[in-house]
Amino acid sequence: MERWTGRVALVTGASVGIGAAVARALVQHGMKVVGCARSVDKIEKLAAECQSAGYLGTLIPYKCDLSNEEEILSMFSAIKTLHQGVDVCINNAGLARPEPLLSGKTEGWRTMIDVNVMAVSICTREAYQSMKERNIDDGHIININSMNGHSVVPQSVVHFYSATKYAVTALTEGLRQELREAKTHIRATCISPGLVETGFAFKLHDNDPERAAATYESIRCLKAEDMANAVIYVLSAPPHVQIGDIQMRPTEQIS
């Protein structure tokens, strides 16, 4: 990780859960981390904690609604002005709404597409352009995917969400191929977890907190820190090694 000291990473959805854990880990390893979310209160608190802990890097909170392309472009412009550009892009932000295919609300589907697919694609494009214009040839784009992007489970409330994550699987491999065609050494990876104990289920089942809690109580789930460790592992790989996808689930998880 030494080669990343002082370099700039963007982490989307950095206020809670996996995003916050990844941001903390990167700051620990000496990176300048721009952490974005719709609300930055929690990121500001995390930044203060990182500073108090004496971590080598810094965490810079940035308020951004990833469903709004103008806000994403404005964020990249600000990063260019203040920090030259993005060397590592962690597309972590994602959400699920309980909208089945036969009865779901279009609004919920569109929200999932906007954040899980469009924002990932826009951030990826802008991160690559940032690297290209500065002749950065060793950058890395990491998409936080899901095991739902590799198999469809028999739960109607996550079928559309699963479709968006299948898109992330395709986008990551497509990105890898385009980076090769562009003759760069920028790498593309996705990390696909099973159940991770975060607030994810509570947002999915926001009208049924008991069901959300039960999601995490049935087995010993992955922790956000496990995901952060996976990100560090990917970034630590030698430059000639590209890790395409890490599929990880709790040992006790069946599907």
Residue whose pair of structure tokens reads 């990249």 in the numeric block: 76
The rounded distance, in Å, linking the Cα atoms of 5 and 186 is 17
Pick from 240, 227, 173: which is nearest to 200 by CA?
Answer: 227
Is-catalytic flag, 166? no
The vertex-143 CA angle with 37 and 8, nearest 5°, equals: 65
Q: Which residues pair with 61 in a beta bridge?
A: 35
Q: Which helix (H) or strand (E) covers residue 143, if one does?
A: strand 140-144
User: Of these residues, 62, 128, 161, 166, which one is catalytic?
Assistant: 161
Residue type, 22: V
- How many CA within 13 A on the CB side of residue 68? 9
The catalytic site residues sit at: 161
